[in-house]
Homo-oligomer: A and B are copies of this chain.
Amino acid sequence: MDFVQVSKTVLFQGTRPEDAEAMLKCLEAREKQFQKDETIYYVGDRVSELGLVLSGSVLIENDDLWGNRSILDRIGPGQIFAETYACVPSEKLLVTVTAAEETEVLFLNVGKILRVCTNACSFHARLIRNLLTLSAQKNLNLSRRIFHTSAKSIRGRLLSYLSWQAVKQGSREFDIPFNRQQLADYLGVDRSAMSAELGKMKREGLIQVDRSHFRMEE
C-alpha cells in the first residue's frame, strides 16, 4: 500500500506516512478491490467500518422500492464513505454503495479508531479529530441543503441559495459550482421550471445570469 497517499487523504491528513503505516497496522485495516457495478454496501446493512477510497470511485445511491436508482454522491480517491453509519452502528443504511469503476477500498473499523489504542498509538487522536471535523462539515452541508429547500417556491429556494452564495463569496457577483440540472437537483425542483423562474427573475431585474455566473441586484 502507498502510505504517502494514505497520509494525504481527508481522514489521515496531518499524519506522516510512517505514522499512517503504524496506524493501519494497529487498526487492522483491510483492503479490498471491487469491479465496476459491484455492490459494496447494501441498503439496510448495518456497518461498523468506514470506507476510504484508494483508487477509482464509488456511488452513493438511493434505490427505491420501485427500482428507480438516483445517485446522491460520488466519492473519489482520498475521500471516505459510510463514516456516519460506522459511528452509529445500530442504524441501517438508507443508501446503497456501489463501485462506479474498478475501485480499491480500505476499510477501517470506527470502533477501533475510537477505542484508545493500547500500544499508546498517539495518532488516534489526530484521526478522531479529523473524523469529527469531517462529520461536522457534512453536517453543515446537510443543514444548508435543508435550509435552501425549505422555501415552498422555486424562487424562494433560488434566492435562499443565491443569497448565501453571495454572502459566502463576499460579493454580489459570483460563480456557482453547479450546472442547471445539478442546481435543480440540489434545490429539489424541475430543471425547466427553474430555468423559467430564472428568466422571470432576470426580466424583473432581480438578478443577472450568464451560465453559472450570477449577479444579485439591490
Structural contact, A129 and B114, CB atoms closer than 8 A: yes
* A147 contacts B by Cβ under 8 Å: yes
Closest approach, in angstroms, between the C-beta of A4 and any C-beta of chain B?
25
Which has the most chain B C-beta neighbours within 10 Å: A133, A136, A138, A149? A136
Q: How far is it, in angstroms, between the C-alpha of A116 and the C-alpha of B116 when the chains are bound? A: 13
> Contact mask A79-108 → B, CB, 8 Å, 1/0?
000011101100110100000000000000
Complex copy number for this chain: 2
- Give residues of chain A (119-145) contacting chain B, Cβ–Cβ below 8 Å: 125, 128-129, 131-133, 135-140, 142-145
**Contact present for A132 and B140 (CB under 8 Å):** no
Are B142 and A142 closer than 8 Å at their CB atoms? yes
The 8 Å CB contact of A150, one of B135, B144, B188, is B188
Chain B residue numbers with a CB within 8 Å of A114 are 129, 132
User: Given A128-B132, A145-B146, A146-B149, 18 other A-B contacts at CB below 8 A?
Assistant: A62-B147, A83-B136, A84-B136, A87-B135, A88-B137, A88-B140, A94-B144, A125-B128, A128-B128, A132-B132, A135-B139, A138-B139, A139-B142, A142-B142, A142-B146, A146-B146, A149-B149, A150-B188
